[in-house]
Amino acid sequence: MAAIASQIRPGAYYDSVVLMQLQRALLTLPGVLDAGAVMATPVNLDLLDASGLRAETGAGADDLLIVVKAEQREAAEAAINQIDALLVRRRVAGETEFLPKSLEAAAHQLPEADWVLISVPGRFAAGVARDALRLGKNVFLYSNNVSLEDEATLKREALGRGLIVMGPDCGTAIVGGIGFGFANRTRRGPIGLVAASGTGLQAVASAIHRLGGGISQALGTGGRDLHAGVGAAAARQALDLLRRDPETSVIVLISKPPEGEVAGRVAAAARRTGKPVVLNLIGLPGSGRSLGNLHFAGDLEEAAEIAVRLANSPRVPADASSSKGSARYLRGLFSGGTLAYEAVLGLQIVLHPLHTNVPLQASQRLEDPLHSTGHTILDLGADQFTVGRLHPMIDNDLRLRRLRQEANDAGTAVILLDVVLGEGAHPDPAAELAPAIAEALHRGDLEILVCVIGTDLDPQGLEGQIEKFRACGARVFTGLRETLDQVVRLLPPDAEPWPAPVPLESFRAPAAINVGLESFYESLLAQGAAAVQVDWRPPAGGDERLMAILAKMKGTSEPRQAS
């Protein structure tokens, strides 16, 4: 009958790779059927139980638990007695020289290091990251189980120091051609990636390579960066860096489902880069749409395909904004309700604040439909406008009045009208609307776009209507997608300033200090990067009370910068 033996090592810390190797080594011993070497968290205990390795031990979450299942008790106990021999620390990549035991010592050993890679257990990771920032180092934070509050605090501190924190739970990045974490090896090229998704970054980078393209930088942010509590801090820094990087001509932005307002904030930053940006934000409508310099992909493969196509195409300068002074808002005056909904759906990620009487989100509701505020899209065929009057597809009076009202607002930069032709509609809408458009355009700093919906068989005469609108100075389109693209090209991006710039030099030929998984250190060396491994152990032996005292002492001391 099989027997189980176990051993607890209170407060012990070993590299996860070492524990994996220990588990595999135990399985090679005579009579051993199965083995586990884990920190005794509730989840790990449940997993051991599900594998038939549960031992009644009383171990806590900060304890290392080693369990062996063997054919006989003697074999199980013999395996447990060999643990110390199996745990003899392996030499890393043949290294025989002294390994520093602190970040400070590692920084002295490799003063050119701009980066610290951190993959220690989550409860210690934020403290290591703070130390790295205070030494003037950028952080690649692989560790998970870091609180959202700690993430936000770390990224705020990094912003204030002109540094970046990629993570926590950042699985991959490619910096200056050197892969961090689980990065794939790709050719160099003009496409830069920003990803709040580790495997998403790998999928897009690999597809770009397969399609013949190349990567300038691939910057992970951690999956929660687009959470409202973090506010896309790292994503905005990464977009700014790629905006300034002369080796990057196309940017790809990937994210797990973002929170609405943060998605808008990061899309606005993408607009401000002035470079083509491909967006694959899971949960947001996309695939085939373009709005100004933003190109929306429906999945990861399409994001790679669009990026490679853009990188291989001649660069077309972005249209200059028509906005002058305080003129910066869109006013959309629609006769078609569905077209108004489509405009809200298409523009909501890039225009803020966006208000409408056909809201898709509660925050978009226009309080007073008789007066526009911010960017406004109106369905003038809605019930509140058609009581006692004809529908605006038949009667232009209401739209003519509203057109003059919006043109007289100094904040209006672009007015958008739809004109729907066909049976039963106004017999010659351009005859009434074109003179009012010409009058409004006398303002000089205003653009008016007209989207004409109809066919060459309609009684109004499609080409004649288009010609009348063009003759009065309007920009005319025959599809809403193309119209909305032009709207975004004409309107200025949101005016939020860029964060303090992270120096490009840190992304050229990175040197790094690795704290945690030795396999990451070995990978850096294999790629030709300068690196040093820290022989890290939990501060104060993992004692929470002593750790708090040490953290408080560090917080009251002056931050030391790397030389």
Domain residue spans in the chain?
A: 3-86, 103-316+503-548, 329-490
Q: Which fold has domain 103-316+503-548?
A: Rossmann fold (3.40.50)
Q: Which superfamily does 329-490 belong to?
A: Succinyl-CoA synthetase domains (3.40.50.261)
Structure confidence by residue, pLDDT tens digits, 69-86 = 888 899 888 988 988 888
Q: Which CATH architecture has domain 3-86?
A: 2-Layer Sandwich (3.30)
pLDDT on residue 199: 93
pLDDT on residue 542: 55
pLDDT on residue 285: 64
Q: Which of 176, 221, 231, 230 is nearest to 197 (CA)?
A: 221
Tell me the residue type at 557: S
Rounded average pLDDT over 424-443: 96
Peptide bond into 353 cis (omega under 30): yes
3-86 matches 103-316+503-548 in fold: no
- As a whole number, the mean pLDDT across the chain is 88
pLDDT on residue 123: 85
Tell me the residue type at 7: Q
Rounded average pLDDT over 197-203: 94
Beta-carbon contacts of 177 under 8 Å, excluding residues fewer than 6 positions away, are: 188, 527
pLDDT on residue 317: 55
Share of the chain above pLDDT 70, in %: 90
Torsion-angle region of 546 (φ positive above 0: left; ψ -120 to 50: alpha; else: beta) = alpha
In this predicted model, which residue has the larger pLDDT, 173 or 46?
173
Using pLDDT thresholds of 50, 70 and 90, give the confidence band for residue 91: very low
Buried b (16+ CB within 10 A) or exposed e, 39-72: bbbeeebeebeeeebbbebebeebbbbbbbbbee
Q: How far apart are CA 488 and CA 110, in angstroms?
A: 47
Rounded average pLDDT over 270-285: 89
Considering only 69-78, 154-163, 220-229, which range has the smallest mean pLDDT?
Answer: 69-78
Q: Is the dihedral of CA 214, 237, 531, 113 positive or negative?
A: positive
pTM metric for this prediction? 0.83
